[in-house]
Amino acid sequence: MENNNPYQIQIGKRITFDLITQIGSVMLFVLIFGIFLSIFMPEEVGKMGFGIYSIIFSFLFIAIVIRVFWSYLYLKLIKFECRKDVLYFSGGIISKFEMNIPYSKIQHAVIYEGFWQRVMGLSSISIETARELGGGVYIPDLDKNDANKLKEFIISKTEKYKSVAGI
């Protein structure tokens, strides 16, 4: 099924941010590890320092590539669509899921903005239903304006059911 929703997840911004933060944290780790080795084992550093560094850096680089690829794949496979009477949501890498949430069951929509999301101009939206576990939908990394438009759209769709439910 083709995703024809006008509110697209900003995958490129998220992946760029993940790469920068992951590589920065690895560089910081390698720097701290190198300082630790040079202070506590100065004679061993000269003999095997390059080998230790290259093994650790290679392992961490492979872990970063796998994590960022997994994140890209996860975001790429998330699909959501605002249909006539339901919000359709699907995704998953290993185990797949599909949800059709009737607008009449949606209780509220909440916009979340972490610090780095605000820096990048992104927001995430959580759409909550009355179910206890797994009843809501979390859509990550939308453009801030798109997240607000989606929230307003969902609220406008749920308003017509409130008089029926007596709320």
What is the C-alpha separation between 144 and 113, in angstroms, rounded? 9
pLDDT(1) > 60 = no
pLDDT(7) > 90 = no
pLDDT digits (tens, 9 = 90+) for 141-163: 999 999 999 999 999 888 877 66
Contact 63, 75 (CB under 8 A): no
Over residues 12-28, mean pLDDT = 87
pLDDT(6) > 90 = no
pTM greater than the 0.85 cutoff: no
The sheet carrying 137-143 orders its strands as 106-112, 122-129, 137-143
Token pair listed for 47: 């003999």
pLDDT(2) > 80 = no
- pLDDT, residue 129, reads 85
Average pLDDT, rounded, for the chain: 83
pLDDT(36) > 80 = no
- pLDDT, residue 43, reads 65
CATH topology for 79-162 is PH-domain like (2.30.29)
What is the C-alpha separation between 80 and 3, in angstroms, rounded? 7
In this structure, of 29-33, 58-62, 64-68, 99-103, the range with the lowest mean pLDDT score is: 29-33
Contact 97, 104 (CB under 8 A): no
Burial of 87 (0-12, 13-18, 19+ CB in 10 A): buried
